[in-house]
Amino acid sequence: MRYLFVLMGMVIIASSCSTMKSSSSTAPVSPQQVEKKSSSPEFIQTISIKGKQSIDAPPLVKSAGSVNTGQVDKSSIELASPVLLKYAILMNAPVEELNNDKLINFIDEWYGTKYRLGGEDKNGVDCSAFVQSFMESLYEIEVPRTSKEQYAQSQRIKKCQLNEGDLVFFHTKGKGKSVSHVGVYLRNNKFIHASSSGGVMISDLDEDYFTKRYVGSGRYK
C-alpha cells in the first residue's frame, strides 16, 4: 500500500488543449511490441479484483472549505476500496475524483476479459462490441457494430477536446489508414479498449504504438 500512496501523490492533471500531456510513467510500446504489454505498472496487475468490496458507498469528496494543495488526501485513501485505488492508479487520478460508481463497476466487471474476434460477451469480446456495450450500458447510446461504422457515424472532435465517453480510433492492420480498432476515452489521456493481445485493458494515448496509429476521435450525443 505504501507504493500506492507515493504514486497517488504524483498525479498531474492537464487542464487545457495546448498542455494535455500524459503523466503516466509507462514505458512506450514499440511497433514490434504491438499491444504486448499493459499500460499499467506491473504490480497493479496483481491487485485482486475477486471478492472486491462494494463501491456503492457515498462518493469520496473533499470537505467543505478544504484547500487543494495538490497533496494526497490520506483520509480518502484510507476510506477507498481496493477497487477504487486500483483504477485511480490506472487512470492516474485522485481517488476522490472517481465518484462515478456505475463507470467504475462496469470497468471492473469487464477488465481482463479476453479478446475474441466477433465476441460480444464476457467469454470473449472484440473492440467494437466492447464499445457497444460500454456506450449502451453507461450512456444509453446505441452505436454501430464495427469500428469503421462507429467512426463514420460519430461527430469528429479534436484530440484535445476528448471527454469521458468519447471514442478514439486507430489503424492497426498493415500500412493503410483505415480504422480497425476503437476504444473509449476515460480521462488523463487514458482509454479503455479490448486489445487483441491483452483483452479489456486501460492504455495511454501517448504510448508510441497508439500515437503512430491514431486516426481520430469521435463523439456521440
Task: Check residue 79 and give its pLDDT.
Answer: 56
Q: Which among 17, 127, 160, 171 is annotated as catalytic? A: 127
| pLDDT score of 176 | 75
Alpha-carbon distance of 157 to 159, in angstroms, equals 7
pLDDT for position 221: 87
Nearest to 114 by CA among 190, 203, 196, 204: 196
| Predicted pLDDT of residue 174 | 76
Q: Is 193 a catalytic residue?
A: yes
The pLDDT of residue 128: 98
Nearest 5°: the CA angle 207, 7, 10 is: 80
Residue among 157, 133, 137, 155 nearest 145 (CA): 133
User: Does residue 99 fall inside a structural domain?
Assistant: yes
According to the model, what pLDDT value does residue 188 have?
A: 96
Greatest CA separation found in the chain? 55
The answer as to whether 204 is a domain residue is yes
Active-site entry in 17, 160, 171, 181:
181
- At residue 75, the pLDDT reads 53
Would you call 171 a catalytic residue per the annotation? Answer: no
Instruction: Note the Cα 96 to chain centre separation in Å.
Output: 17
Query: Domain holding 130: CATH number?
Result: 3.90.1720.10
Examine residue 162 and state whether it is found in any structural domain, yes or no. yes
Residue 19 inside a domain? The answer is: no
Parent domain of 55: 2-14+24-64+72-219
194 Cβ contact list (under 8 Å, min separation 6)? 113, 115, 125, 126, 127, 129, 130, 200
pTM above 0.95, yes or no: no
For residue 118, give every residue at least 6 positions away whose Cβ sits within 8 Å of its Cβ, in sequence order, or none.
Answer: 126, 129
The total of structural domains in the chain comes to 1
Query: Considering the domain boundaries, does residue 139 fall inside one?
Result: yes
**Is residue 10 one of the residues assigned to a domain?**
yes
Asked whether the beta carbons of 90 and 111 are under 8 A apart, the reply is no
Residue 179 inside a domain? The answer is yes
- Averaged over successive runs of 10 residues, the pLDDT of the chain (221 residues) comes to 39 41 42 42 41 36 34 53 92 92 96 98 98 98 98 97 98 87 98 97 97 97 87
195 to each of 25, 31, 122, 153, how far by Cα in Å?
20, 14, 14, 22
